């Protein structure tokens, strides 16, 4: 019971923050394990993450000074920054696929495993525990200052999820390396790996999308020298830029076809209780025709008719989740689905409560 109370208290604090537009007092979140929850900078559930990841893997246009090793190790894998998407009028971006080392430069430079950190970042002294930022090689930055004036919005695809951050720092190692993000970003991407300044995610399987041009810069109303102060601005700019990019790449909302209608009537119900896999409750949609059975398209998400909307689109009741932080408002993550009533399954050891197999 005590645990339940504590969690509800935490949720109501998070909810108040949401009601205020997730405007935060940076220092409150500036600690190694008390940073902003993933939902403050997660992409909307309707974003076609897998499609974007595939498209980034196929990018092939190589600008000047674009190839760097992912680590200082001998024979390290090399990663190239691609410019295929630079000419879009909305959602223009650079992209690359690399590993993820942990950067703590800025005011949290004394983080674990970071003996040689610097107390500044390129456009301030960011807090690596509070700001989800990414890093780019200094040589590339210097050659492209017209595209990247600093604090540009970035979308990172790691572990199958997409998170938003900003371009916060540049790498000046010798040789310069790529594939680097702040403590907060790295530990949110890979929450079970206890990453630190000296322990990064080594597989080169992280996709970095970095938006270019003035319209992609997080404004000073949402950021100061040290902290992101309004995560709603980060998220709404991120969703807008990524949606524009996705639509330029032909990855926008799928158009309903008569084939789909036929599938609806002929497919057997799947284990998740919906007759059209991929179009069940929680799936992205642009109209009711994109959703199986009796589901309707509410706020871009297939939902049960009459389902409550919530304050975090795509993370309402029925959305898939891996922790409570993935669910809006007072919803809890129960068996991978955001649910209103977690009374039955709440106990002091999450995942081992009544109703769970042991
Ligand atoms: C935070 O950002 C959101 C989205 O840009 C905006 O609507 C809201 O007014 C901002 N809040 C504050 C307090 O500036």
Angle, helix 49-58 to helix 231-248, in steps of 10 degrees: 60
- If you take atom 10 of ligand 1, which residue's CA is the nearest one? 21
Share of the chain above pLDDT 70, in %: 74
Q: How far away, in angstroms, is 219 Cα from ligand 1 center?
A: 11
Give the chain's mean pLDDT. Answer: 82
What does the pLDDT read at residue 314? 67
Q: Is 351 a residue whose pLDDT tops 60?
A: no
Q: How far away, in angstroms, is 101 Cα from ligand 1 center?
A: 31
User: pLDDT tens digits for 275-333?
Assistant: 666 666 766 767 667 666 777 777 667 677 655 566 666 667 777 777 777 777 777 77
pLDDT-derived band of residue 200, with 50, 70 and 90 as boundaries?
very high
Q: Which is more confidently placed, 258 or 319? A: 319
User: CB 310: neighbour CB atoms within 10 A?
Assistant: 20
Sign of the torsion angle spanned by Cα atoms 91, 94, 97, 103: negative
Q: Report, as an integer, the average pLDDT of 221-247.
A: 97
Q: Is 223 a residue whose pLDDT tops 80?
A: yes
Q: Report, as an integer, the average pLDDT of 255-266.
A: 34
- If you take atom 7 of ligand 1, which residue's CA is the nearest one? 21
What does the pLDDT read at residue 263? 35
* Cβ-contact 253, 290 below 8 angstroms: yes
Residues 6+ apart with CB under 8 A from 119: 105, 106, 107, 109, 125
CA distance linking residue 65 with residue 88, whole number of Å: 21
Q: Identify which of 17, 18, 20, 21 to mutate to test ligand 1's pocket (most ligand atoms within 8 A of the CB).
A: 21
In the numeric block, the tokens 């559930």 are attached to 45
What does the pLDDT read at residue 241? 98
Q: Report, as an integer, the average pLDDT of 48-77.
A: 96
Sign of the torsion angle spanned by Cα atoms 203, 209, 122, 41: negative
Q: Identify which of 232, 240, 311, 312 to mutate to test ligand 1's pocket (most ligand atoms within 8 A of the CB).
A: 232
- DSSP assignment of 292-338: -TT-EEETTEEE-TTPPP-SSTTSSTT-B-SSGGGS-TT-EEETTEE
Establish whether residue 240 lines the binding site of ligand 1, counting it when its CB lies within 6 angstroms of any ligand atom: no
What does the pLDDT read at residue 259? 35
Establish whether residue 230 lines the binding site of ligand 1, counting it when its CB lies within 6 angstroms of any ligand atom: yes
CA distance linking residue 79 with residue 69, whole number of Å: 6
Q: How far away, in angstroms, is 19 Cα from ligand 1 center?
A: 10
User: CB 212: neighbour CB atoms within 10 A?
Assistant: 24
- If you take atom 2 of ligand 1, which residue's CA is the nearest one? 233
What does the pLDDT read at residue 307? 52
Q: Identify which of 20, 23, 238 to mutate to test ligand 1's pocket (most ligand atoms within 8 A of the CB).
A: 23
CA distance linking residue 354 with residue 358, whole number of Å: 10
CA distance linking residue 312 with residue 335, whole number of Å: 20
Q: How far away, in angstroms, is 53 Cα from ligand 1 center?
A: 29
No. of helices (H) and no. of strands (E), the chain:
6, 13
Sketch the domain layout of the chain as residue ranges: 20-248
- If you take atom 11 of ligand 1, which residue's CA is the nearest one? 21
Establish whether residue 264 lines the binding site of ligand 1, counting it when its CB lies within 6 angstroms of any ligand atom: no
What pairing do the DSSP bridges indicate for beta strands 153-158 and 133-137? unpaired
Share of the chain above pLDDT 90, in %: 62
Q: Is 114 a residue whose pLDDT tops 80?
A: yes
């Amino acid at each position: 019971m005590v645990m339940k109370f504590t969690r509800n208290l935490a949720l109501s604090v998070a909810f108040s923050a949401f009601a205020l537009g997730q405007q935060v007092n940076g220092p409150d979140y500036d600690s190694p394990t008390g940073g902003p929850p993933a939902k403050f900078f997660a992409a909307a559930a309707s974003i076609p993450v897998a499609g974007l990841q595939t498209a980034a893997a196929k990018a092939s246009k190589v600008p000047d000074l674009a190839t760097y090793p992912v680590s200082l190790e001998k024979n390290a894998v090399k990663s190239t920054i691609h410019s295929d998407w630079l000419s879009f009028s909305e959602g223009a971006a650079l992209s690359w696929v690399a590993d993820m080392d942990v950067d703590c430069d800025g005011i949290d430079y004394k983080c674990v495993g970071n003996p040689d950190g610097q107390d500044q970042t390129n456009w301030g002294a960011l807090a690596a525990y509070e700001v989800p930022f990414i890093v780019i090689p200094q040589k590339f930055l210097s050659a492209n200052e017209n595209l990247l004036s600093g604090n540009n919005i970035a979308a990172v695809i790691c572990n199958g999820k997409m998170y938003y951050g900003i371009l916060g720092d540049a790498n000046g190692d010798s040789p310069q390396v790529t594939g680097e993000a702040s403590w907060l970003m790295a530990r949110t991407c890979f929450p079970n790996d206890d990453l630190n300044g000296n322990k990064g995610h080594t597989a080169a399987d992280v996709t970095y999308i970095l938006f270019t041009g003035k319209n992609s810069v997080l404004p000073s109303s949402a950021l100061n020298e040290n902290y992101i102060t309004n995560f709603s601005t980060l998220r709404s700019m991120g969703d807008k830029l990524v949606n524009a990019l996705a639509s330029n790449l032909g990855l926008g909302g799928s158009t309903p076809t008569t084939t789909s209608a036929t599938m609806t009537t002929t497919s057997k119900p799947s284990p998740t209780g919906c007759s059209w896999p991929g179009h069940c409750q929680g799936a992205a949609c642009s109209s009711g025709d994109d959703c199986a059975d009796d589901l309707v398209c509410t706020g871009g998400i297939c939902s049960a008719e009459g389902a409550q909307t919530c304050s975090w689109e795509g993370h309402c009741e029925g959305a898939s989740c891996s922790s409570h932080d993935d669910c809006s408002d007072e919803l809890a993550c129960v068996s991978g689905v955001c649910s209103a009533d977690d009374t039955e399954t709440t106990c002091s050891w999450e995942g081992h409560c009544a109703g769970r197999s042991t």
